[in-house]
Structure 1
Amino acid sequence: MTMLMGYPGQPVIPPLIGPALPRRGEPGWTMLPRRVWPISPLAAAPHRVVLLAAVAGLLGTALWRPSALSVGYLVVGVMVFAVVYGTAERRPTRTEWVGLALTLALLAVPALLAADWLGVLCIMAAWIVGWCTLFGGRTWTAVLTAPFLAWALPARVLGWARRGVSARVGRVGVANPVRVAAVVGLTVLLTVVFGALFASADAAFAHLVGKLVPRFDGVDVVARIVAFGMVVGFVLGGSYLTRFAPRLDVLAPKPMKPVPRWEWAVPLGVLDALFIAFVAVQAAVLFGGHTHVLETEGLTYAEYARQGFWQLLWVSALTLLVLSAVIRVAGRVTASDRRVLRTLAGILCATSVVVVISAIHRMWLYQQAYGFSTDRLMVITIELWLGAVFLLVAVAGVRMSGRWLPHAVLTAGVVALLGLAALNPERLVADRNIDRFEQTGQLDAEYLSRLSSDIDPALHRLPERVRACVRSDSSHHDPWYLFNLSRSNADREVGTDLPDYCSQYGTYRY
């Protein structure tokens, strides 16, 4: 051991004890600077974390298939969070409790509804909220970075878990691999032999075994291996973050030097005037509704609804970028600076909310006239979320404090998505189209046939003769571990051979 001597008058530098910090490409190496995510090369995963991660992974192989919307998503989410925070050295914060609740609520949607598009959106949102909860941070940088930084976790977690396993093995020793294999083989042999005998002796027991024991094939084996690896990764990654969370807020851009008031007030004031003029001049178009359509020669509902709808959507999104830029450069030193900023930003937020309402109004009228669809409901949900964001920005402007804004905007988006799921959108679409059928006799049976089993209860409102024209192209006989409430209650006829009279209910133009 060598001692590194300093210059005269300087303290002696102690020798380094333990492994050196990982180099580029080695396990534990990261592109983030150590001030953001400190490295602890001596840290090892606790034995209980590694053991429970393996147990959770085994349960995940039996209960979860990433490719199927089922209760498995919720079960895995509960298991992961239970192990992560049950073995953590601290209690969850209030913000973490909210994040956990929102994540599990999103993961419950695939267990209840069968709409693929909605389930995928909820799973993606759960990924974002879950990792933001585990990584922590309050800035926009943290919110936007955490879901992607999760892919860098294996570089840290593998070495942490390996050191934990090695430390445990060093303390208790390792059993002879041959004897371990012999015990496992004997256990499997006894289970198979006696299980087969009992199954052949009793039909009820055979039926129970057939339901409980999954049937394996090549694809299923791969799916189970993937599920095991993902669940173990979630548990180990979450457990690592509760102990060694990065400081992502350090990466946030530093406050910009305020610019003179006139440099931001003039363009913002002109933009306010433009918004006010647009809302005033286009009042008849924005809120004319049925009257405007009827009084304008040659204007159909489709043209009215589409007339500038996407432009208004882009206006809403770009306005948020303008507001974020103004907030970064506007000076707030004096009371007059703050008053001008509140006034101009408040006007822009208020008129933007009017634009959002007008866009929603157009799409709602279009659906009333031509029928509902899932795409249109999704667009309305996005517009509602944008409107909520404008209100949150206005509140932040009044308070002159926006530290809470990133989490509030993310929460508003999750609430909007959960609200859409609570409406059961595909059933809502089916109900509204059946209402239209009862009024006009027109039915887009082809479109309804493409929807999931969520619409099956609504189809009972149709006459049996018409209901036969709405078929499902696949039957749902899920094993118990892929339970989905909507699919379990499905009762729609399966098949593609339709009666000849169904051609009149095939489709209609929107």
Structure 2
Amino acid sequence: MPGRALLVALLLAAAISATAIPLDRAGIGWLIGSTASIVALAVTRTKVSWRQAAWGAATLALLGVGTVRAAPWLFVLCVLTAAVTGTLALVDPRTLRAIVASFAIPPAAAVRALPWVRAGVQHRSPGSPARAIGVASVSLILLVVFGALFASADETFAAVLDWALPSVSGSTVSRAVLFFPLLFAVLAGAAFTLAGPPTLGRADLPTRFAFRRSDWAIPVALLDLLFAAFVAVQGTVLFGGTRHVLDPGGPTFANYARGGFWQLLAVTGLTLVVVAIGGRWAPRANRADRVAIRVLLGALALLTLVVVASATYRMNVYEQAYGFTRLRVFVTAVELGLGAVFVAVLVAGVKLRGGWLPRGVLAIATVALLGLAVLNPDRFIADRNVDRFAATGRIDLHYLNTLSADAVPALDRLADNDRACALWLAELRLRREHDDWRSFNLARHQARALLAERPAGSCGGYRG
């Protein structure tokens, strides 16, 4: 059962998180809430592995993205990924089956932890809930009375309180009533899981059968030949770039890039399935079996890397022709991440040990997303399009106007009406959205300061 220190830590962390986390936008409150939660869970004094510590650090980094980046789409991806890495930090699954099973543990643990918490409260301090409620009520009354007197006595202090304290309204009360118990249940479930880690399958599924070498080697060898023929015959299509597109009868830039991307997805799925089946059931009884695995599956992964490089190049050609967008940058990031996955597959094939591969793929996805946050995609998109405008005179101001506050410093490089048309909507959003201490965001703060010094002005009509 939980000790008194742990119960107090969980209550404080839930209260801090419920107060600090801004549910409607990215902000520093997400970092504050996640930090408070990790500190509270540390009170369990449970020994964790280096993998759990790494997943926990990744979770904190993902939720901290909201402090410095304003792009909503990027932060949503970070929050969703943080839910995955947070689960891995609690459970430390070793196999693919354990990873899949681990995602059912947090909701189940939140329910199972309630009797555990109740037993700890009754055992450690019988009769104390009423006393604690009384102390909290007296403290709150004193703070409200004296805070109101100080605020009425000094306008600056009143302004500080107005900025620091959330406004009390029906929605604020409803948010606190619903959010605090939910967060406490989640944190109690996490502490319960750390205190008594569940037993997940530490070993892989038992091998019921194994292929003979010819059973798998012949199909994979034929597939290797097909891939090699495709790469050889289609070399002009794969790496033709602008010249291939501009040839008479050549495809449009859109078809050229999209064809490469969907080709990549199809080849990726096929290769991963084949490698997974071969790596799982291919025999390894003698040296010839092991050489066959390394050569045939390794060649398949290498040829897939060629297609990954082709698709990345195609997307670059597309971006040079039509400009950069969020979707195009994200697709490029996915392609590079898939390339890293196939490198990991090659390493696993050389070592003939792939138990770490599922966790490695999740780590690659997490690092790729954090790398995208470091890149600052909205600003990167704006910078590249402004550079392209300087070189070609072509720009889509209507699209650039939809970017987040991250892009404001790059769009400020434009002049006159182009600048106004690129920034007026961002300026309007920043005026309507007031950030308090919970929702403070560095990108929005810098954008407000820049637009306060040089307002966007009126847009006389879009170019592009």
TM-score scaled by length of structure 2 = 0.92
2:429 partner SS = coil
1:376 corresponding residue in structure 2: 328
Residue type at the aligned position of 1:292: H
Aligned partners of 1:274 and 1:496: how far apart in 2?
56
Aligned partners of 1:81 and 1:184: how far apart in 2?
24
Q: CA deviation at 1:250?
A: 4.8
The count of aligned residue pairs is 456
1:307 partner SS = helix
Residue type at the aligned position of 1:114: A
2:441 maps to 1:481: no
Answer whether contact 1:80 1:234 (CA < 8 A) is retained: no
Q: CA deviation at 1:169?
A: 3.2
Q: CA deviation at 1:306?
A: 2.4
Residue type at the aligned position of 2:287: A
1:216 partner SS = coil
Give RMSD over aligned pairs.
2.2
2:13 maps to 1:56: yes
| Equivalent residue for 2:189, pick from 218, 237, 240 | 237
2:459 maps to 1:499: yes
2:103 partner SS = helix
Instruction: Flag the 1:66–1:426 CA change in 2: closer, same or farther, 3 A.
Output: same
| Equivalent residue for 1:197, pick from 149, 154, 161 | 149
Instruction: Flag the 1:96–1:174 CA change in 2: closer, same or farther, 3 A.
Output: closer
2:98 maps to 1:142: yes
1:355 corresponding residue in structure 2: 307
Name structure 2 gaps, 5 residues minimum: none
2:272 maps to 1:320: yes
Q: CA deviation at 1:376?
A: 0.9
User: In the TM superposition, what whole-angstrom CA distance separates every residue of 1:349-383 from its partner, at most 9, and x where no partner exists?
Assistant: 00000011111111111001100011111111111
2:65 maps to 1:109: yes
2:400 maps to 1:459: no
Aligned pairs (5 A) from 1:103-252: 103-170=59-126, 173-174=127-128, 177=130, 186-250=138-202, 252=204
2:285 maps to 1:333: yes
1:439 corresponding residue in structure 2: 391
Aligned partners of 2:137 and 2:115: how far apart in 1?
31
Aligned partners of 2:244 and 2:132: how far apart in 1?
80
Q: CA deviation at 1:425?
A: 0.4
Answer whether contact 2:44 2:195 (CA < 8 A) is retained: no
Aligned partners of 1:337 and 1:298: how far apart in 2?
45
Answer whether contact 1:115 1:452 (CA < 8 A) is retained: yes
Q: CA deviation at 1:146?
A: 1.8
Aligned partners of 2:285 and 2:53: how far apart in 1?
36
Answer whether contact 1:317 1:386 (CA < 8 A) is retained: no
Aligned partners of 2:438 and 2:79: how far apart in 1?
18
User: In the TM superposition, what whole-angstrom CA distance separates every residue of 1:253-299 from its partner, at most 9, and x where no partner exists?
Assistant: 22342111111111111111110011000101111112212224353
> Which shows bigger deviation, 333-342 or 77-86?
77-86
1:319 partner SS = helix
Aligned partners of 2:140 and 2:290: how far apart in 1?
74
Instruction: Flag the 1:371–1:191 CA change in 2: closer, same or farther, 3 A.
Output: same
Aligned partners of 2:140 and 2:355: how far apart in 1?
57
Q: CA deviation at 1:45?
A: 2.1
Instruction: Flag the 1:254–1:498 CA change in 2: closer, same or farther, 3 A.
Output: farther
1:303 corresponding residue in structure 2: 255
User: In the TM superposition, what whole-angstrom CA distance separates every residue of 1:48-85 from its partner, at most 9, and x where no partner exists?
Assistant: 21111111111112211233211122222222222212
Instruction: Flag the 1:348–1:227 CA change in 2: closer, same or farther, 3 A.
Output: same
Identical columns (%):
39
Instruction: Flag the 1:420–1:89 CA change in 2: closer, same or farther, 3 A.
Output: closer
2:2 corresponding residue in structure 1: 45
User: In the TM superposition, what whole-angstrom CA distance separates every residue of 1:365-407 from its partner, at most 9, and x where no partner exists?
Assistant: 1001100011111111111111111111111111111122122
Residue type at the aligned position of 2:162: G
Q: CA deviation at 1:413?
A: 1.0
Residue type at the aligned position of 1:213: L
User: In the TM superposition, what whole-angstrom CA distance separates every residue of 1:447-473 from its partner, at most 9, and x where no partner exists?
Assistant: 111111000110121003211112224
Instruction: Flag the 1:253–1:467 CA change in 2: closer, same or farther, 3 A.
Output: same
Aligned partners of 2:152 and 2:414: how far apart in 1?
47
User: In the TM superposition, what whole-angstrom CA distance separates every residue of 1:313-360 from its partner, at most 9, and x where no partner exists?
Assistant: 221122111110111111111111111111100110000000111111
Q: CA deviation at 1:433?
A: 0.9
Instruction: Flag the 1:80–1:196 CA change in 2: closer, same or farther, 3 A.
Output: closer
Aligned pairs (5 A) from 1:394-413: 394-413=346-365
Answer whether contact 1:313 1:356 (CA < 8 A) is retained: no
Larger radius of gyration: 1
1:273 corresponding residue in structure 2: 225
Aligned partners of 1:128 and 1:222: how far apart in 2?
28
Q: CA deviation at 1:186?
A: 4.8
Aligned partners of 2:133 and 2:272: how far apart in 1?
62
Answer whether contact 2:260 2:310 (CA < 8 A) is retained: no
1:386 corresponding residue in structure 2: 338
Whichever structure has more helix as a proportion of its residues is 2
TM-score scaled by length of structure 1 = 0.84
